[in-house]
Amino acid sequence: MIARVFIVLAALALILGVPFALKPKTNAFTDADDSIVILSPHNEAIRHEFTRGFAAFYKKTTGRTVQIDWRQVGGTADIARYLKSEYTTAFRNAWEAQGKRWDATCARAFDNAKVELGATPQDDTPEQAVRRAFLASNAGIGVDLFFGGGAYDFIQQAAAGRLVDSGLVAQYAEVFTDRSFPQMVSGEPFYDKQGRWIGACVSSFGICYNSDSLGRLGFDELPAGWTDLTDPRLIRQVALADPTKSGSAAKAYEMIIQQQMQEVMAEFQRTRVGQDAAVIEREAVAEGWLRGLRILQRSGANARYFTDAASQVPIDVSMGDAAAGMCIDFYGRFQSESVRLTDGTSRLRYFTPVGGSSVGADPIALLRGAPNRDVATRFMAYVISIEGQKLWNFRPGTPGGPQRYALRRLPIRKELYQPEYARYRSDPAVNPYTEAASFVYRPQWTAPLFHVLRLIVRSACIEPHEELVAAWSALHPHGGDAANAAAWAAFSDLSAVDYPTAMESLRPALASGDPLAEVRLISELSGKFREQYRRSVQLLREEKP
C-alpha cells in the first residue's frame, strides 16, 4: 500500500516538475534589447517567420536583439472595434488630463473623418477643436503596428486618425515607383499617398474546393466561377464566412457584385449602342447589384454555416466537412500546402475566378502614439524590403526563404516576379500583376456600400438561414417548372435591398453611427426575408396540382 502511494506521489511530482525543468532560464522578451507590439490577424506561421526573419535582420543592421509581442483580438472587424474603443479611452484620458470636459460631442467628433478642419484654429467649432487636438496628439494604446487585413480596413483607420505617416514612402522614394511598388493597380490602392499605410503583400479572392467531396457529390466538372457555388447539389456543402465578422469575407462578396456589374456593363454597351453612357452605367450598376446579390443569396442557401473566422473555411473544406467555399487566396493555398501528400497532390485546391476578383494590398501601418516608433518603422522597412518580401512566397529552405512554413502569400514588390526567383517560389506560375489586368475595381460603384453589403448578407442569408435553406430545398427540384413562377419570384425578391434603396435609404441609416438603429434595421430586413422565404414555400404548395 505504501509503495503504491509512493509511486502515485512520484508520478505527480514528475508531472508537476517537468514544466519547471523545461522552462527557459531566461525570458526572451524581457532580455531583448528592444521590442515592438503588433496587433495582427495573421496566423502563427506568418508570425513565426517574420519574428525570426526580423530578429536576424535587426541584429545584423543594429547589433541589438529584438522581440515581438504579437497581440490578437480576432479578425479585422474585431480589430476595428478594439482600436476604436482603445483610442477613445486613450484620448479621453489625455483630454481630461488637460482639465477639459469630455462629452458626447467629443466622443462623436474626435475620430470622425467627416469633421473637416479649417485653416484658422481660433475659428474652430467644438467638433473641429476636438478633432484637431486628436490629430495633433500622441495619444497611444501601447501598440506600435497594425499588420494584416484589407486596404479598406486601413483606409478607414487612417481616415479616423489612428494611423500616422511612418515616413517610409518619402524615405524610399526609389522603391515606390511603378517599376517596383505602384501606388494603384487596377483600381486598388497599394499604399497610402500620405504614407499612413503600406501594402505588405497582395491578395485576391476565390474558391477552394475538395476534389474528393465533389466527386462523391457527382460533379464531373470542377468549379470555374462564383455562380458554381449556387449549384443546388451543394446544399449544406458550401463554407462561408460572416462578413460582419470578417473583412476578407466582405471583400470577397464585394468582388462578386463588382464582376456582375462589369459583365452587365459590357452587355449593355454591346446592345445599347447610341444610348447615353451615364444612363448605361447607372442601369448596369443597378442590374449588376441585383445579379450579384442573387448569387450571394443562393450561395448562402447552400451554406453549411457562416463562420466568424474566414481562415476556418479552407480548413473545413480540406477535411471534407464542406465541399467548397469562398476564401482569400493565401488561406486556400496555405491549407492546400498543409494537406499535400508526398506525391505532391492535394485534395484541396484553390483558384481565383478569371475576371472575378481584383488584386488588393494587405497592409501594415504605424499606429498613433506608438511607444517604440523607431523599432516599428524598422520592422515596416524590413517587411517591404526584398529580404522580407521573400518570406511570403519562397519555399522553406530556399535562399532567403522561410525556415519552417511555406506561407503561400504573394509579395507586393514586382522584383520578386522576375525569372531568377521563379525556382524558389511556391507559386511560380502566379503573377498578381498579370491577374489584375483582367479585373478593374471601380470603388465608386460598391465601396460606399461596403458596410451595407455586410448588413444585407446578414439580413438575407444569415439571420433567416433556416428558412432560406428550407425554401431553396423545396424550390430547386422545380426550377424548370414555369407553373412555380410565383414561388420563385417570392424567393428571389430583392426589392428591399436593390441599388437605389441601398444608396438612398440603407446607407444613410447606417451612417448615423447609432448601433440601436442598425440592430432595428437588421431585425426589420431579416424579418422580411424570413417571411418571403416562408411565403415561397407556401406558394409552391398551393401551385402544385
Half-sphere exposure of 208 (CA within 13 A, CB side): 35
- Which amino acid makes up residue 262? Q
Grid cell for residue 218: 457527382
Give the CA diameter of the chain. 100
The pLDDT value given to residue 18: 47
The rounded distance, in Å, linking the Cα atoms of 141 and 518 is: 28
Q: Please name the residue ranges forming H helices in 366-498.
A: 373-384, 386-393, 432-435, 443-446, 450-457, 465-475, 485-492
Which cell numbers in the block locate residue 22? 523545461
Do 462 and 300 form a contact (C-beta atoms < 8 A)? Answer: yes
C-alpha R_g of the chain: 26
pLDDT of residue 518: 87
Residue 10, exposed/middle/buried by CB under 10 A (0-12, 13-18, 19+)?
Answer: exposed
Please return the burial class of 466, using the count of CB atoms within 10 Å of its CB with bins 0-12, 13-18 and 19+. Answer: exposed
Q: How far apart are the C-alpha atoms of 58 and 64, rounded to whole Å?
A: 7
Report the amino acid identity of residue 305: Y
Listed by start position, the domains of the chain span 205-357+441-543
CATH class for domain 205-357+441-543? alpha beta
Distance, in Å, from the CA atom of 20 to the CA atom of 289, rounded to the nearest integer, reads 60
Residues with pLDDT less than 70, the chain:
1-30, 478-483, 544-545
Position 28 scores a pLDDT of: 46
With CA atoms as reference, report the closest residue to 389 among 437, 421, 357, 354.
Answer: 421
- pLDDT at residue 488, as a whole number: 92
